[in-house]
Amino acid sequence: MILGFISPRARLGVLLLLTAVLAAGCTRKADAEADTGAGAAKPRLVFRLANELKPDSKIWDASRLFKEEVEQASPDGTIKAGEIKVVFYDQGMVGTERQLLETCYFGVIEMIQINSSVVTTVDPAYSMLDLPYLFLSEEHHKEVLYGEIGNKFLQRLEDKGLLGLGFYGTGFRNLFYKQDAGKPPAETPEDLRGLKIRVMESPIMIASINAMGASATPVPFSELFQGLKTGVVDGAENSARIFVSYKYYETGCNCFTLTEHFANQHIIIANADWLASLEPKYQKRIKEVARIIIPRFDAVWDETTRNSIEEMRQLGVTVNRIPDKRLFIERANAIIESYPRQYPDVPLDLLAEIRELGKAYMN
């Protein structure tokens, strides 16, 4: 199957990248085998795992936890410690998340970790996970991702030559912006009027921020810091950790409002043909480890979010929790209701299941 999102230019780029990655991979593989100390099993399975993240983001930890766990002995004793070796490429070493998805499809990289929004280029159904206020709480979010609905999303990748191994919830995106002295923090959509808020170049995200009362302004992530400093935009939206990690408080953004409008999640994906080619015991171990690490990652992310919010307060940033999000949710419903017209080929039963489950979390 040829994926429509891969252009001829992209294919050429992938082939060029393939050469570089394979050359580096041979060296890294040799290093990995040399590092297997005395008393440990010699690696019988060596494969690549890549992401675009830096350790400070903490989302990176999903890959770290997977690598650490899969390299240990399996509980049933069929796999010894060191028998599996993961060659880890992070911080965009082999490309952007979109490029990683392409290289995984081609089998250049056996496994990847990417944001679920990127998977939309392969399967438009993943776009519904970006809808505003689709998830009404973190509990609702996790029940979807880690339950039967999440499994249905993962299984959809199988006919694309890919295998979704697990979701990793990374909380919600929130608004941060420059707040004039003496003006109270925003609590209603009207309070956001006139604020230019940076968003990704996503039609759903642009429409959502506009519906919430602000003025959505697409700006590349790499240009956001300077855009905030120069006034191209008044603020942006992202997680608490990203706000602190990228020091957006240094741009004059002094208010962080917990709108919790978009949910975030990453996904670990394997090349389906590669995984199917492995011995059954290795297939089983890789699949089970992707699930085993979920509660460990949740603990890391929850602590990271709490620490990031506390760090903001210590830096003098106002952290504003909206007492009643119903006005925002009502505006967002228009975006959700228009979704079927924009994506007529997407299976709407998944959207209905998520919303039905959400009724239990309504205040």
Which class does domain 173-262+307-361 fall in? alpha beta
Domains of the chain by residue range? 8-169+264-303, 173-262+307-361
Query: Is the confidence at residue 93, as pLDDT, over 50?
Result: yes
* Cα 170 to Cα 52, 130, 283, 319, 358, distances in angstroms: 15, 13, 26, 19, 18
Residue 178: pLDDT over 90: yes
**Helix (H) / strand (E) containing 50:** strand 45-50
Per-residue confidence band for 200, with pLDDT thresholds at 50, 70 and 90: confident
> pTM of the predicted model, to two decimals?
0.87
| Tens-place pLDDT, residues 106-149 | 999 999 999 999 999 999 999 999 999 999 999 999 999 999 99
Calculate ∠ Cα 136-255-227, nearest 5°.
Answer: 105
Q: How does pLDDT run across 56-84, given as a tens digit for each residue? A: 999 999 999 999 999 999 999 999 999 99
pLDDT value at residue 26: 43
d(CA 143, CA 151): 11
Degrees (nearest 5) of the Cα angle 153, 139, 56?
A: 80
pLDDT attached to residue 17: 57
Assign a CATH topology to domain 8-169+264-303.
D-Maltodextrin-Binding Protein; domain 2 (3.40.190)
Same topology for domains 8-169+264-303 and 173-262+307-361, yes or no?
yes
Q: Assess whether pLDDT exceeds 70 at residue 291.
A: yes
| Cα dihedral 146→147→153→157 (10° resolution) | 70
